[in-house]
Each structure stands twice: as C-alpha cells, then as structure tokens.
C-alpha cells in the first residue's frame, strides 16, 4: 500500500522544512584539528596501537533529522580532504548518522571529485556552491527533494473604462505575431507572487499597480531542465496611467478593450488562454471571485508570508496591496 519512497514524499511541509532551516542556516563549520601532531609517532617510544597516524576529522553540525552538515569554507588539499572525509564518514557511521551533507563553495571545486569518489551524490547547486549528500544507513532514504518548480506571473491590469493593459513583445514566441498579451515574467527567488506581478507590470509598462486577486493558475511539467512551472494570473488595479515602455523586450504597450483582447484569434484558438480570458471577462462583470493575498505568519516563525484564498466570506483581513502600501 505504501511505497518505499513514501517517507520522503509524505513528510509534512512543516516537518520537512523545520529541520532543514534549523540545520542549514547556522553553517558554522571549520576544519577541526583533532590531533596536534599529525606525524608518525616513533616506534621505539610508544606502544603499537599509537603507531596509527592521527587523521583530521571534518567538523560538522547536526541537523534535525539525525544527519550532519559539513560546510567547507577554507581551501584544502584534496588528498587531505579525502583522508579526513573517509575518517569522518567512519565516525558518522558508528554514530548512526543518516544523511551527510557537504556544501562546497565553487572556489573549492578541487574537492568535488573526492566527495563523489567517497560515494556522495549531487543534491543541488547554485552559481556559487554545490551541495553533495550521502545517505549512510541501509534504511529507506528520506533525504528532502530539491526545488522542483519555477514560478511565473501574468499581470491582468484593468482600468475603470474596462480596458486591459497589453503588450507586444519583441523577442520570443510572440515576436512579430501582432498578438497583444498580458505582461508576464518570472517570480524572483524569494519574491512574493503578488509583489512580482506589480513589479512586472511596472517594469514592462511603467504603470504602478495594487494587487487584487489571483484569478487562476496553471501547472505544467518538463518546462525547463525537466522541472515544472507554476504560472499565476494576477488581477491588478492601476494607480498610475503614464505608460513608459520597456525598450529591451517590449515592442508596444497600450490599453485595449477587454472584449477586443479576448477576441484575438490566438486567444480564441488556445484553450488555456481562452479560459483565462473568460475568467477576466466574468471578473469584469462582477461574476468571478479569485484568491486574495492575505499576509499571515505560520506560528512556527514570525516571518510573514502570504496566504491566497477566497476571502469574500471572511472579513477584517489585510491584503497584499494594503500591506505593501501601509494602508490597513
């Protein structure tokens, strides 16, 4: 009934994030010298058991899942790293440790091959570092998964005349097609969806906005490097009206009657764009309720995040736009 990989999959988001956050943030490691004297001890003076060379061990902090994290910061000779990693792994195995993480800054690229030779696999990489991991026990591997999605937004900005803010792109799929489309873009790492929508509208068109609702979202797969994609259609209210086109990517910007936007052959033929246009038209008529962005905290930390839901029936909630502008 339950598969072997279930342990990783069904870990609750709370449980799975808790330990990692605790564990990865305080990367406060250093190379710890256990033995003061690394040389062979003279045979004449000491008993046989002391003739084994003392090996430096890698310092590591414990994570909340019974694993350890090694955050290499200082340059090291790869042979020295190899012997230290071998000795440390023996110790961690004896201690019953589970996952062993090694974070290698790109400057320490000379240590990557050693780690792989010692049985480590890549977990994830960012431009400046590579994270490797090894699962020590014989039990099922419960290492957390890598990031799996990229997130994008489309900005649906309508004015009081029932017009929608549209652009023509001068690169990509739509270049030269004459199609008028919503401003779109990628949500930056660490950026809120509602904030990204306001930023993209401003960057592409010069129009300032307030976030109102997520009208729809779409999940697709294998969109880049085998990863998935979530795209959120965000309804925004303009607070400025002076169009300032972005030159590098945008060929034209204008306000267009929503019905005219929806009637474009491209929209009509594209099932998914057509649904989105219908939702926008229903929204204009007042027949549609999307998800508002309400700032909340989780109870596990004091960091604010946004919950997006249909708040039509709930009162007294702040939203993304008045949270940002300070109007509460």
Active site residues: 203
Closest contact distance (angstroms) between CB of 70 and a copy of itself is 15
Count CB-CB contacts under 10 A for residue 203: 15
Comparison of 7 and 55: residue with beta carbon closer to a copy of itself: 7
CB-CB contact of 156 with 20 (8 Å): no
Closest contact distance (angstroms) between CB of 91 and a copy of itself is 24
CA torsion through residues 168, 169, 174, 178, sign: positive
Comparison of 57 and 67: residue with beta carbon closer to a copy of itself: 67
Closest contact distance (angstroms) between CB of 160 and a copy of itself is 22
The span from the CA of 292 to the CA of 149, in Å, is: 22
Specify which residues 131 forms β-bridges with.
103, 124
Count CB-CB contacts under 10 A for residue 283: 19
Nearest to 162 by CA among 285, 288, 279: 285
Closest contact distance (angstroms) between CB of 197 and a copy of itself is 12
Comparison of 36 and 312: residue with beta carbon closer to a copy of itself: 312
Closest contact distance (angstroms) between CB of 3 and a copy of itself is 8
Distances, alpha carbon 153 to alpha carbons 6, 84, 192, 208, in Å: 32, 47, 11, 16
Comparison of 94 and 271: residue with beta carbon closer to a copy of itself: 271
Comparison of 23 and 57: residue with beta carbon closer to a copy of itself: 23
Count CB-CB contacts under 10 A for residue 246: 16
User: Which residue matches tokens 């596990």?
Assistant: 300
Comparison of 82 and 294: residue with beta carbon closer to a copy of itself: 294
CB-CB contact of 197 with 234 (8 Å): yes
For residue 252, the surrounding DSSP H or E stretch is strand 250-257
CA torsion through residues 203, 208, 213, 216, sign: negative
The span from the CA of 65 to the CA of 133, in Å, is: 14
Closest contact distance (angstroms) between CB of 34 and a copy of itself is 28
The span from the CA of 72 to the CA of 197, in Å, is: 38
CB-CB contact of 120 with 89 (8 Å): no
- DSSP at 247: T
């Amino acid at each position: 009934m339950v598969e072997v990989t279930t342990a990783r999959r069904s870990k609750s988001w709370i449980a799975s994030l808790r330990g990692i956050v605790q564990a990865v943030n305080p990367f406060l490691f250093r190379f710890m010298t256990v033995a003061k004297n690394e040389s062979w001890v003279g045979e004449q003076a000491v008993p046989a058991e002391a003739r084994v060379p003392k090996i430096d061990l890698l310092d590591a902090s414990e994570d909340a899942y019974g694993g350890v994290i090694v955050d290499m910061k200082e340059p090291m000779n790869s042979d020295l790293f190899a012997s230290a990693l071998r000795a440390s792994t023996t110790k961690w195995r004896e201690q019953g440790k589970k996952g062993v993480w090694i974070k290698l800054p790109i400057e320490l690229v000379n240590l990557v091959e050693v780690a792989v030779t010692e049985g480590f696999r890549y977990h994830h990489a960012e431009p400046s570092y590579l994270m490797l991991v090894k699962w020590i026990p014989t039990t099922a591997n419960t290492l957390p998964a890598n990031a799996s999605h990229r997130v994008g937004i489309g900005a649906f900005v309508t004015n009081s005349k029932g017009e929608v803010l549209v652009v023509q792109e001068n690169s990509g799929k739509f270049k030269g097609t004459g199609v008028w489309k919503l401003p779109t873009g990628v949500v930056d790492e660490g950026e809120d969806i509602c904030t990204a929508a306001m930023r993209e509208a401003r960057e592409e068109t010069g129009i300032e906005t307030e976030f109102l609702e997520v009208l729809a979202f779409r999940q697709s797969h294998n969109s880049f490097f085998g990863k998935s994609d979530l795209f959120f259609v965000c309804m925004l209210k303009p607070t400025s009206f002076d169009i300032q086109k972005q030159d590098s990517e945008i060929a034209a910007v204008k306000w267009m009657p929503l019905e005219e936007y929806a009637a474009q052959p491209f929209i009509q033929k594209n099932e998914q764009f057509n649904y989105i246009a219908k939702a926008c038209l229903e929204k204009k008529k007042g027949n549609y309720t999307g998800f508002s962005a309400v700032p909340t905290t989780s109870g596990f930390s004091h960091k604010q995040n946004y919950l997006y839901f249909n708040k039509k029936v709930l009162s007294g909630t702040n939203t993304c736009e008045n949270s940002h502008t300070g109007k509460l």
